[in-house]
Amino acid sequence: MKINIYYGGRGLMDDPTLYVINKMQKVLEELNVRVDRYMLCELKNSITTLPQTLKDADGIILATTVEWYGIGGYMQQFLDACWLYGDKERISKIYMSPIVMSTTYGEREGKLNLSTAWEILGGLPCSGICGYIADAASLEMSDEYTTLIEKKAENIYRTVNQKPTCFPASNQAVKQKVSVSKNIDLTPQESEQLSQYAADDTYVQQQKEDIQELANMFRGMMNKGPSNIDSYIEQLRDHFSPIPGFKAVYKFLIDNKPLIINVNISNVSFETNDIGKADVECTLTNDTMNEILAGHKTFQRSFMGGEMKVKGEFAVLRSLDELFLFM
* pLDDT tens, residue by residue, 36-89: 999 999 998 899 999 999 999 999 999 999 999 899 999 999 999 999 999 999
The answer to whether 2-199 and 229-323 have equal CATH topology is: no
Give the helix ranges, DSSP H, for the chain.
16-30, 73-85, 88-91, 107-120, 136-140, 143-162, 170-178, 188-199, 201-223, 229-238, 286-293, 299-304, 314-318, 320-323
Residue 198: the pLDDT is 62
| Ramachandran angles phi, psi of 279, nearest 5° | -65, -40
3-state secondary structure of 50: helix
- For residues 124 and 163, give the distance between their C-alpha atoms in angstroms, rounded to a whole number: 9
What is the tens place of the pLDDT at every residue in 188-235? Answer: 566 666 666 666 667 667 777 778 777 766 665 554 444 578 889 999
Residue 192: the pLDDT is 61
Residue 186: the pLDDT is 62
Mean pLDDT for 89-105 is 94
- Where exactly are the structural domains of the chain? 2-199, 229-323
**Region 229-323: CATH code:** 3.30.1050.10
What is the tens place of the pLDDT at every residue in 142-163? Answer: 999 999 999 999 999 999 999 9
**Cα radius of gyration rounded to whole Å, the chain:** 35
Mean pLDDT, the chain, whole residue set = 87
Cα 80 to Cα 13, 40, 102, 195, distances in angstroms: 27, 13, 22, 11
Question: Domain 2-199 - what CATH class?
Answer: alpha beta
Cα 69 to Cα 97, 103, 106, 110, 238, distances in angstroms: 20, 10, 7, 9, 72
Cα 253 to Cα 81, 105, 209, 217, 306, distances in angstroms: 47, 59, 30, 22, 15
Amino acid identity, residue 128?
Answer: G
In sequence order, the β-bridge partners of residue 37 are: 5
In this predicted structure, the answer to whether residue 179 has a pLDDT above a threshold of 60 is no
What is the tens place of the pLDDT at every residue in 104-116? Answer: 999 999 999 999 9
